[in-house]
Structure 1
Amino acid sequence: MPVPDERTAYPNPLIPGFNPDPSCVLVDGTYYLVTSTFEYLPALPVYRSADFVTWEHIGNVAVRGEQVGIADVPSAGGVWAPTIRHHDGLFHVIVSVATGPRGCLVFTATDPAGPWSEGTVIDGVHGIDPDLAWDETGRPYVTYSGLHLNGTTVVANRGILQARVDLAAGRVLEEPRQLWSGTGLVAPEAPHLYARDGHWYLLIAEGGTESGHAVSVARGPSIEGPFEGAPHNPLLSASGTDRPVQCTGHGDLVLGPHGEDLMVLLGTRRAGRFSPLGRETYVTGVRWSDGWPCPAPVELAPRPEPLHEHFTFTDPAALADPGWLAVRRTPGEAASLTGRPGTLTLTAAGDGSDTLRPAFVGRRQRHLDSVVEARVEPAAGRGGLCLRFDEEFAVVLLAERSPIGGGLRVTARADVPTMTQSWSTDVPDDRVLLRITTRTPPPGRAPWLSSGDRIRLSVVDATGAESHLAELDGRLWSVESAPFFTGRVTGMYAEDGTVHFTDFRYHGEPRT
């Protein structure tokens, strides 16, 4: 079988939507990939593929809040940058819980679909983005970025560090040593180690995870180094280019299904000049020259098929799908499927979308052109749909009892720091269909005039008539304006009282 073209053989993004910091491992002909989740639960999605094209979300590593301890982490804190590896018949996921109490954790499982262990804390690893590797004798090493945080305060940043560890006891066995920390760009992080052809290769990210993001590499004679940087570093960066995939970095190497070398990495794609979906997982081919990896620029190749998801809530297991997310608690803790038969019920404390643990259950937006719908009965409460970046950057579409008589009042609201704008209409129904539609901007505008995507907020009454309440410029809910680490998650939301939902739909347009 011929080796496919290194830049276009696989769909890109490989795992669309909010799926940053990918790490991948090949075990017995099957690929397993994990990504970051920050303040969301369940944490650490696990994706599986036999061909590197079709990926199935088979579960999550941390399905209980106690496993990661993120109940009180600030936005963009929490579960950062995992590494997945396989050793002696056991899958390992090592990760840092930034700004949380648990620190560096290692989870293990015999089946990557779960269940996973409760997580062993590795005392003495003060940093982020840990990698786990074993030397030729089977001794485990943790290599990590020495960014030491105390809450949101940076205590120290010592570059790339490494120490031998006792995984069973959860402790380092030596004073961490400093390794090669890149070419001098800011934020050396995301180290991964590989043994190949008599060398050990140290792959890192540097330049920061935004527009300056880059991949660099060094090699040395042992897992402990010393390491010498490649003469052509950085290996990969979209900085200063007009490529359709920007912010490329945080790479992990894996052997492809045709025997080719691949790099999974994060990147952002644009709608106009802005990136609404956050950091996604991409793949690119890697050739080797003079003993150094040379990854190809990341191409954009969205999947050609549409995606339709329809969830009804007559089944008590309706939230079992691993793609559901809630904020700092699990979907099962945020919502009830037993309060009223055939509905999902959310109950809010009345403190709005800016609370740390809102009454919210949603899913990643995975297409630039998408439609999200929910049929809502607000009863005596107020709720509907929420497109969320974090507590301060959100778009909501809410139904509540009309104050002027029978029926409902539906309000569209745009929230950004220091500013809120809203639009309302009344409908003569007790239950309505709410709809959030996103569309890419029309092509052909000069780059300096380009807006973001369009976010349309609509209500459909009992007769099927659709009323548009607002259409927003999506620039404010994109990574260039909103918090950069996460992405859009859209779902059912209660702002006050008890709200019932009978179904939820997601539609993604092909090639977006």
Structure 2
Amino acid sequence: MRLANPTIAGFYPDPSVVRVGDDYYLACSTFEYLPGIPVFHSRDLVSWTRVGHVVGRPEQLAVGQVPTGGGAWAPTIRHHDGLFWVAVTDALGRGTLLFTAPDPAGPWSDGAVVEGVDGIDPDLAWDADGTCYLTYSALRLSGDNMGAHDGIEQVRIDPYAAKALEEPRSMWSGTGLMFPEAPHLYQRDGWWYLMIAEGGTERGHAVSIARGRRPDGPFEGAPANPILSARSTSRPVQNTGHGDLVSTPDGEWAMVLLGMRTLGMTRAFSPLGRETFATRVTWVDGWPVAEPVHLTEPAAPVSLTGSGLDGDWIAVRRLPADVADVRAGSLVLRGEGTGMDDPRPVFVGVRQRHHRMRFSAEIDAGAGTGGLSLRYDEAHHYDIEVGDGLVTARGRLSGLTQTWTAPVDTPRVTLWIETAPVAAAGFDALTSDTVRLGYDTPAGPVALATLDGRYLTAETAASFTGRVVGAYAVDGTVAADAVRYEGS
């Protein structure tokens, strides 16, 4: 079995996978972005195609007003009784939710709140008699104990009524490392295996596993725990963890997991956030042995063009169609008097998937003000916009803002954002990459600002998401033509 890494590039964290016959389906977290929880399909665990989203209607997740970092956390996708199931935490929103669909492409149900569960990262597993177990990480998101973490817990549930059938019980919670999370329960050769992540989703991230004869335990930890981690190594993929196991029709096994392609001399920064990777797994003496995660040969450069609002486009706390549409081939955004500092900006974008990237569009701001933005969140973004006879480049970093301006004699300007890893040696190479904000003139391209990319990374922005690049409007009507993403 040959796997490609990254498996799904860009901000696609917390992957979960299920096999149904010869088909594999994978789902990921989306936090405050909509549409939420993309579902991918593959026949070989290498080539993945997005077939839909679990959340395509605003009422399915209460992300409209959630704080940054809230929303759809760590879905688990499973297949049982002719239905696809997704269990997910709508963090600081609706709570623990169950979605169902006969077809993974959707449409999916409205989502039922599971009564009696207070935690995150829910997993679903059924035993031979049809009993359903929901196992989760007991991080309290409500009540007097909000913020407390009580390890891994489990309840039997009625999945159709979305109701716990008993009081939660404590489960095996790892080897003692911080933040046990992402539990998944499997049955193999007469054993039940409880696999979790621990060590935090930073450089100490790891996957550990235990086994027992019953789905509710007791469980004994593997003697070689953790079975996967990149900590204290020089591997280009760090923070590996939050894994989910899947078997192939010919008896092989694989793990999908999250990781980060770190940059900088000390590998301290992750511009793209947490991405989906995969690795082979073998079984030795009844325990899984995971190979380290290695990058595969780089794929060919990618060039995406067009102005359609298909499923690659996402928006912040609302759907792309709520802030933009396509008219005569142009992507049109309707400003609301707010910019990229707003928690609900008029912005639609795509995930940055490559360290070396160029995003460009011909912006017509004759009836408004707007442009392009490279966004981590409302406090961390770099913008290039046109309006009122000026092109303005802007760096916004946690309350600090700096701008650069240049006059233009037309409201229709091609704007662009470029990123590239730092090629310098020595201490100049400590940062991750550079971000150039510019525009085209009849005399050639003009870079209005060159900014340090380390401030738009997971580590600096303290975000669980990743860079998203796209178009926005401040006021009036702004049209984007010749929208193009190029990455390598």
| Alignment partners' CA distance in 2, 1:464 and 1:400 | 20
Asked if residue 18 in structure 1 is aligned to residue 7 in structure 2, the reply is no
Shift of 1:106: 0.8
Give 1:468's match in structure 2, choosing from 416, 435, 447: 447
Asked if residue 436 in structure 1 is aligned to residue 417 in structure 2, the reply is yes
CA distance 1:471–1:482, change in 2 (3 Å): same
Alignment of 1:168-183 (within 5 A): 168-183=160-175
Give 1:324's match in structure 2, choosing from 297, 301, 313: 313
| Alignment partners' CA distance in 2, 1:385 and 1:302 | 31
Alignment of 1:71-150 (within 5 A): 71-100=64-93, 102-150=94-142
Give 1:309's match in structure 2, choosing from 304, 307, 310: 304
Judge conservation of contact 2:387–2:411 (CA < 8 Å) in 1.
Answer: no
Asked if residue 425 in structure 1 is aligned to residue 412 in structure 2, the reply is no
Judge conservation of contact 1:202–1:217 (CA < 8 Å) in 2.
Answer: yes
Q: Letter of the aligned partner of 2:239 in structure 1?
A: C
Asked if residue 259 in structure 1 is aligned to residue 251 in structure 2, the reply is yes
| Alignment partners' CA distance in 2, 1:59 and 1:152 | 38
Deviations 1:315-359 (A, max 9, x none): xxx31x211100000000121335xx4422222222321212100
Alignment of 1:265-284 (within 5 A): 265-272=257-264, 273=267, 274-284=269-279
Shift of 1:388: 0.5
User: 1:450 corresponds to which residue?
Assistant: 430
| Alignment partners' CA distance in 2, 1:271 and 1:88 | 45
| Alignment partners' CA distance in 2, 1:66 and 1:150 | 21
Q: Letter of the aligned partner of 1:61 in structure 2?
A: V
Judge conservation of contact 1:99–1:151 (CA < 8 Å) in 2.
Answer: no
Alignment of 1:339-488 (within 5 A): 341-402=328-389, 409-442=390-423, 445-446=425-426, 449-461=429-441, 463=442, 465-488=444-467
Where does the alignment leave 5 or more consecutive residues of structure 2 unmatched? none
Shift of 1:221: 0.5
Shift of 1:385: 0.3
Shift of 1:43: 0.3
Judge conservation of contact 1:24–1:32 (CA < 8 Å) in 2.
Answer: yes
Shift of 1:296: 1.1
User: 1:505 corresponds to which residue?
Assistant: 484
Judge conservation of contact 1:15–1:280 (CA < 8 Å) in 2.
Answer: yes
Judge conservation of contact 1:11–1:303 (CA < 8 Å) in 2.
Answer: no
Q: Letter of the aligned partner of 2:75 in structure 1?
A: P
Alignment root-mean-square deviation, CA: 1.7
Give 1:49's match in structure 2, choosing from 38, 42, 47: 42
Deviations 1:186-213 (A, max 9, x none): 1110000000011000000011111111
Shift of 1:451: 1.8
Shift of 1:447: 6.9
Deviations 1:353-374 (A, max 9, x none): 1212100000001111111011
Asked if residue 296 in structure 1 is aligned to residue 291 in structure 2, the reply is yes
Q: Could you say what secondary structure the match of 2:256 adopts? A: strand
| Alignment partners' CA distance in 2, 1:447 and 1:221 | 54
| Alignment partners' CA distance in 2, 1:134 and 1:180 | 19
Q: Letter of the aligned partner of 2:477 in structure 1?
A: T
Q: Could you say what secondary structure the match of 1:305 adopts? A: coil
Where does the alignment leave 5 or more consecutive residues of structure 1 unmatched? 313-317, 403-408
Deviations 1:88-112 (A, max 9, x none): 2111111011111x11111111111
CA distance 1:206–1:370, change in 2 (3 Å): same
Between stretches 351-360 and 75-84, larger displacement belongs to: 351-360
Alignment of 1:20-35 (within 5 A): 20-35=13-28
**How many residue pairs were aligned?**
485
| Alignment partners' CA distance in 2, 1:225 and 1:258 | 29
| Alignment partners' CA distance in 1, 2:228 and 2:356 | 29
| Alignment partners' CA distance in 2, 1:182 and 1:328 | 34
- Structure 1 length normalisation: TM-score? 0.92
Shift of 1:121: 1.2
Asked if residue 243 in structure 1 is aligned to residue 224 in structure 2, the reply is no
Give 1:234's match in structure 2, choosing from 221, 226, 246: 226
Judge conservation of contact 1:13–1:302 (CA < 8 Å) in 2.
Answer: no
